Structure 1
């Protein structure tokens, strides 16, 4: 008897810098049940694993118990597919090398695989979303940081150590750029993540005197959503922030196209849903900076999956391949 019939479900866990979202997924890619916990609330990783398990187990029991679960797949910042560890993740509260896959396996007795969160989102997009049927594409996740998953010839690129594809840490302002959580200056994610957009807003508001709806929000509380809301209302400063962000991202994407000539670049995350405010400057910067032989060849797409679903589905897809413990 096929073990997938005996074990018809997998679990997908997406660990974000702010929230951890998890779901039980069936073979068709339907998320049957889901929940979440705050990632930052637990400074000890053991407490965090306990909390996720405490919230996940009732969902598992409702579907017939642990014996119905084929495996767990986890998408995490700095997640290493080869070793099942999270290594030196700048946006997470736990330092050093964390053997997270082994911790979940030990706690629940379910085989567990782990990969980079952006790689997980790319697998989800390739299986269920905008990249269906594509063999060459780059997924860019615009969240607390900037992540990426690179698929070449139908395969996720992991590199020899499990960490290939950290395009958010390509330096776009060398020497003079913003300090990044990784310890270097000028990384793409310090400008083009949701946090980067808020940082740009604070810098412009401090340096300038022109009127802006953003001045109604305490500077330290400004989010990228505030910038979007102001832009929609015709706020010139907010629109300028999107122009600056989109242009920088587009310049970087033009370089990424030269690397793997992808059929598409798929943008994922809240910022990608900012419509023309972000897409127009990105597209313009790509066209102005991409090598002639690539002009007009790479589609710029927005993820077709709901923000939480893509990474959960992608992470869960890893679990179908796992062998029983």
Structure 2
């Protein structure tokens, strides 16, 4: 990574459905300063951009001004790298196609690149994390949804339109598949995201009669961390929820390995931190379903990016690659 000492910093920004977090990052991957705004507070994109810039400018000035910033990288839902646009993102307050990279370039005066949030995580992992030195890997983000970033021969796979790699929306259950927010049924995201785990918990509690610590929580309020906490305390039903989730994810990963023969699959997000409860069933399902020529060749790893910094770090890695304006 060549940065040139004359421009030793980049800006990273992660746009989430609830919060937008941004910060200044150095070439070693240290997040030096951050701030945030509430994404949903701004129904007009112009007001949102102005609110971000009002908080971002002082951060940039504290590190020597825009002359010291190589570029800005943005991770966003439905982000199109080719066009620098957010396109028809269902969980953001702005409709249609938003030329966000151009808006920030104009306001801040720093070259800006944009991609979807899972691709940003993959770039961050390759630049600062567990995928350093790897040319072929798949990043799977397990959050509210399931995202993915696919790297082949050292380059992210964007496809001809900028939207390649939506592995969270591969259909994994045809019969009675769960309704997905994308409009289809049976997507991986509906089973293996944090919200998918909570859905499984509610289904198991109805279908199975045995005692469980999860019965002490109103069904609609159960979140994936509740399932993890119960599993740690020896709750068999909670442990079975992880086994079920891990098996579905592992089956899907066995298919993904056949697609690009990656050196590693890297899991990111709170769910990936559930240890053996989730990792053992994932690995078993991969081993049980992998095509023989791929057996034992792909490592299953957990992200090395710190949760608090990962979104900003991942997006910031794009900033080193942007062209000057």
TM-score w.r.t. length of structure 2: 0.94
Distance 1:125 1:199 in 2: 29
CA drift of 1:145 comes to: 0.9
After superposition, where does 1:1-325 map in structure 2 within 5 Å?
Answer: 4-174=4-174, 176-325=176-325
CA drift of 1:317 comes to: 1.8
Distance 1:185 1:159 in 2: 24
CA drift of 1:175 comes to: 5.4
What do the CA deviations read for 1:42-100 (whole angstroms, capped 9, x no partner)?
44433333332233222222222233222210011211110001112233333322211
CA distance change for structure 1 residues 171 and 9 in 2, over 3 Å: closer, same or farther?
same
CA distance change for structure 1 residues 41 and 245 in 2, over 3 Å: closer, same or farther?
farther
RMSD, aligned CA: 1.9
Distance 2:182 2:171 in 1: 11
TM-score w.r.t. length of structure 1: 0.94
CA drift of 1:115 comes to: 0.7
Distance 1:34 1:260 in 2: 36
CA contact (8 A) 1:17 1:144 kept: no
Distance 1:267 1:3 in 2: 28
Give aligned pairs, total.
Answer: 324
Distance 2:200 2:18 in 1: 20
What do the CA deviations read for 1:100-154 (whole angstroms, capped 9, x no partner)?
1122222222221101111111111111111111111101000111111111111
CA distance change for structure 1 residues 224 and 18 in 2, over 3 Å: closer, same or farther?
farther
CA contact (8 A) 1:71 1:110 kept: yes
CA contact (8 A) 2:3 2:320 kept: no
CA distance change for structure 1 residues 311 and 78 in 2, over 3 Å: closer, same or farther?
same
Structure 1 stretches lacking a partner, 5+ long: none
CA contact (8 A) 2:70 2:319 kept: yes
Structure 2 stretches lacking a partner, 5+ long: none
CA contact (8 A) 1:79 1:116 kept: yes
Distance 1:45 1:210 in 2: 50
CA contact (8 A) 1:179 1:186 kept: yes
CA contact (8 A) 1:258 1:294 kept: yes
Distance 2:137 2:6 in 1: 35
Distance 2:97 2:183 in 1: 17
CA distance change for structure 1 residues 3 and 122 in 2, over 3 Å: closer, same or farther?
closer
- Partner SS, residue 23 of structure 1: strand
Distance 1:89 1:307 in 2: 24
CA contact (8 A) 1:81 1:116 kept: yes
CA drift of 1:3 comes to: 8.6
